[in-house]
Amino acid sequence: MRRQLQTVEDIIKEEINVKEIEYVSDDTNIVRRSARPNFKIIGKKYGADTQLVAQAIKTLTHEMVRKLEQSSVLALMIDEKTVQIDFEDVEIISEDIEGWLVASDAGVTVALDTELDEHLMREGLAREFVSRLQKIRKESGYEVTDRVEVHYCTDDETSAALEAMRSYIGMETLAESLERGEQPLGVDLEINGRHVNVRVQRV
């Protein structure tokens, strides 16, 4: 599975807009697992020992729950007796670590770090800005090879973010210049909650 993912890693990163993909063999640091008894099942299976089994299930560690998920059975010592716990005897509870979104399916766990630093927020703004400029270019009937000049009007914080990504914006849109003005002269855009007025002219 890892080899297959690595062959299309660049496509995955582009499509879901992530910077890096890290492969780990153990998900202990990104998700916490616990278990609770499935009383509908264990009541019939264990009879008078149901409460003892239920209490043992509640005390299962993350590692024990993972082992149960992987092998579908787990041997526990309960009241000096060895009892086999089956996967159907429990309900697995997964608790995501703060700042991460986690999903598991078919033995694969994926965790997405959703914390955004200043650079990532600027990059996200620039990517959306580029997308809007490309749309304006297309609607204006420009050829894909046409060089353009971009004039924009926005607040200081948004301008600083765009200026920090000037090279990227210029490369992606073939903009020979990216100039900030004081007066709105073009199209009003709402980008990630920010207002930007843009004018695109063919050189």
Query: Would you list the domain boundaries of the chain?
Result: 2-113, 118-202
Q: Which residue has the tokens 């890892």?
A: 2
Contacts of residue 176, defined as CB under 8 A and 6 or more positions apart, other chains included, come to 147, 148, 149, 170, 203
Q: What pLDDT does residue 142 have?
A: 94
Q: In 3D, which of 16, 29, 36 has the Cα closest to residue 109?
A: 29
Q: Where are the beta strands (DSSP E) in the chain?
A: 31-37, 73-78, 81-86, 90-96, 100-105, 108-113, 148-153, 175-180, 187-191, 194-202
Mean pLDDT of 164-188: 91
Contacts of residue 168, defined as CB under 8 A and 6 or more positions apart, other chains included, come to 123, 126, 130
Query: What is the share, in percent, of the chain residues with pLDDT greater than 70?
Result: 97
Residues 115 and 102: their CA atoms lie apart, in Å, by 13
Interior/surface letters 118-139, b for 16+ CB within 10 angstroms, e for the rest: eeeebbbbbbbbbebbbebbee
Q: What pLDDT does residue 29 have?
A: 67
Contacts of residue 106, defined as CB under 8 A and 6 or more positions apart, other chains included, come to none
Mean pLDDT of 143-148: 94
Fold of 118-202: hypothetical protein PF0899 fold (3.30.2320)
Read off the pLDDT band of 10 (50, 70, 90).
very high
Read off the pLDDT band of 28 (50, 70, 90).
low
